[in-house]
Amino acid sequence: MLQFFTLLSLAIALVQGLVLPEFTTQGVTGPVKIDFNVSNTVGDISAQEFWSKRSNTLAKRGPFSEVAVPYRNIAYHMDVYLGSNRQKATVILDTGSSDLWVPSDNYNPATSSSSQSTGETFQIGYLDGTNANGQTYLDTFQFETPYPVLSNFKFARSTSTGGFGVLGVADRNQEATPTQYDNLPWALQKAGVIPKASYSLILNRVGQSGSVLFGGIDTAKYNGKLAQYSIDTRAGGLGITLQTLGMEGHEYPAGVAVFLDSGTTLGLLNSQLMARLDNVFHPTIINYGGIQYRQVSCSQPSDRFLDFHFGANAVSIAYSDLIFRQGDGTCLLGFGWYNDYNILGAVFLRSAYVHFDLSNQQISIAQASYSSASNVISD
């Protein structure tokens, strides 16, 4: 069975009432670097089983409701601590959504002396039918010590139990609420921990670990120019304009907004760009769940590259790094087609250093460096 997922986070919410929290903080300030693990398991089950357990076809709404992609096989997970008694919750990092929610057995408000109920109901539905619903609370939030403690941080407690929650770090306009609030990047900025609502996403090439750096840039983790681009609102989230796509000595015009989503394993490109890739990789096209996948040879060269040109710079990916190996030994190309969407997921992001500046509505991008060195500067 095809091992593919898309966590395209089209969020829908039902919220009653409004609470405006005042943020305070304890602990050190400055760039906050959080390491995460990359795996195909969520606790004791596969990532695809975790997501399918949370699927509910009633949550599929809007123009994407016909998409059926029930299998996810990857998770970027980290630990957070909620409440005065530091209740541990493991959450999946997602640049395609904006809210933090945790299963009910990860957070018990009755045991935290700092918990405040907002009186709001919460319901969020993702594109593939994954959903969570419950109540929202204000309480303390912290990563591992010695990182700062945020007071009066808003998050949701789902009625579901087991598995992981989701930590969305997209901008406030993607929140699953009718009124905006300060989600994690903005809460860190408002509390004075970081100067701007910003973060860098670093995926290591081997795909087993990575890090998110709030309020900072690690200059040792990229090569060449870290070029700034305005967020292209046509992407429907955190995206920029792809100017051209280069391969085999040719550059092909694109001029499309591409959505950068850590919650997507592979990517999607429109029919015109996919036709260019088909001419190079000669795939067998497989239709599954409304998506056209490309099955290709697993033997691909490491000295030929697909170049994503954004204007001031480009990100190059070796053909050998464009391949996603299946459990049965076959391989998929790292890009497929669905309804001319343009999504760049982990296959692209592990070759790129990406800095999201929500305060200035900019995204900076460069070629990733896999150096073990680190040189973190404040944003």
Query: Active-site residue among 94, 99, 128, 218?
Result: 94
Q: What is the pLDDT of residue 128?
A: 55
Q: What is the pLDDT of residue 25?
A: 54
Angle at 278 between CA 237 and CA 324, to 5 degrees: 65
Instruction: Please report, as a single letter, which amino acid is at residue 110.
Output: A
Report pTM.
0.85
To the query of whether residue 139 is one of the catalytic residues in this protein, the response is no
CATH number for the region 25-194 comes to: 2.40.70.10
Q: What is the pLDDT of residue 49?
A: 44
Q: What is the pLDDT of residue 326?
A: 81
Q: Is the omega angle on the peptide bond into residue 283 within 30 degrees of 0, that is, cis?
A: no
pLDDT in tens, 235-283: 888 999 999 999 999 999 999 999 998 877 788 999 999 999 999 999 9
Query: Active-site residue among 261, 321, 357, 379?
Result: 261
- What are the domain boundaries of the chain? 25-194, 221-378
Q: What is the pLDDT of residue 68?
A: 26
Q: What is the pLDDT of residue 24?
A: 52
Q: What is the pLDDT of residue 289?
A: 77
Q: What is the pLDDT of residue 227?
A: 99
Q: What is the pLDDT of residue 307?
A: 99
Q: What is the pLDDT of residue 122?
A: 82
- Domain 25-194 identical in fold to domain 221-378: yes
Superfamily of domain 221-378: Acid Proteases (2.40.70.10)
Mean pLDDT by runs of 10 across the 379 residues of the chain is: 40 38 57 85 42 38 27 71 97 90 96 95 69 90 89 94 89 82 97 96 79 97 98 92 97 97 86 98 92 95 98 98 86 93 91 98 97 93
To the query of whether residue 261 is one of the catalytic residues in this protein, the response is yes
